[in-house]
Amino acid sequence: MFPRLKLKLSRKQISSAGLLLGALLFTSLAFRSKGPSQDSNLDNRCLEIVNGDVTLPAQQLDKLKSHLGNKRATIQQLLGQPYCLLPKTSIRSGVITEREAYRLEDDSWAIVAYESDNLIGYARDPSQSPQPSQKEISLRQTWSLQAGESIEGHRVVSGLGDLSVALEDEVYAPADGIVYGRFVLISEGTLTQSQRDCLVFASPQLPAYLLQLCGLNKRRLGLVKQGSVLGKAQGYLHLALLRHDQQWVFVPPSPDLLKRLLRKP
């Protein structure tokens, strides 16, 4: 059990509106890739080539914004058959995520993800894209305190929606992705910068999901490969898994995802 922080506040009240992780546009991530079938990581390889001859116009992908939650058959009527099928994966507890890769006309890739045969998200993987230095993430839930916040010099070590693991070891990237060391917490117009031991991990291999990790030093930021060290926990790792459903919501991580984070490749 980790120590609980006890707070006694007088004369001031903390707004019940709490912290929101503000609006993330889950857009393109910058990776140079030869395609899923040539990736060196087994988790990212094509299991089956479905339609290797057709490329998809990039603007066609933008039509998916209005089709989140639709059935796979509807999406395939819109986009056609994918280039290939990627391995099924487990991201949140009790749910299997299925992924399909599309080759775009500009030689980049798009990964489309389904759960229970419904579209949950997609991500482009272009050959060239500027990397923003900061993310803004908006959560549906609102809580008065969030892990990582400081109150009169006292650090909040855990909050609703996150999981704390006793750990003094390295943490590893669960897939190829991009790591942001700066993100903004937003609460109804109030901005709060993230702490220096926190990061956000995003990957086109895991469309519609984000990982927030706190309690790390020697963080590795920017583009990372699967199995790369993200940082080292100094007693406790505080982890929150976010899934996009109109807004970002906390969901429980799967044991498989935790193993990939904590197990040395």
| Digit-coded pLDDT (tens) for 171-228 | 999 999 999 988 875 645 555 677 889 999 999 999 999 999 999 998 999 999 999 9
How many Cβ atoms are within 10 Å of 162's Cβ, its own excluded?
20
Same domain, 104 and 135: no
In a domain, 114, yes or no: yes
In a domain, 100, yes or no: yes
Same domain, 136 and 258: yes
How many Cβ atoms are within 10 Å of 170's Cβ, its own excluded?
16
Same domain, 258 and 136: yes
Residue 19 buriedness (CB in 10 A; 0-12 / 13-18 / 19+): buried
Domain that holds residue 43: 36-125
188 three-class SS: coil
Give the CATH number, domain containing residue 227: 2.70.70
pLDDT for 104-146, tens place per residue?
888 888 999 999 999 999 998 754 444 555 676 665 554 444 5
- Whether 239 has a pLDDT exceeding 60, the answer reads yes
Domain boundary among 63, 97, 125: 125
C-beta of residue 75 within 8 angstroms of C-beta of residue 112: yes
C-beta of residue 90 within 8 angstroms of C-beta of residue 257: yes
Same domain, 157 and 57: no
- Whether 161 has a pLDDT exceeding 50, the answer reads yes
- Whether 147 has a pLDDT exceeding 70, the answer reads no
Which tokens hold the place of 32?
């140079």
Which tokens hold the place of 156?
């909040």
pTM above 0.75, yes or no: no
Same domain, 90 and 165: no
Closest CA to 87 of 200, 208, 210, 175: 175
Question: Over the Cα atoms of the chain, what is R_g?
Answer: 19
**How many residues are recorded in the chain?**
265
Same domain, 145 and 258: yes
Same domain, 146 and 42: no
Q: Look at the chain and report how many structural domains it folds into.
A: 2
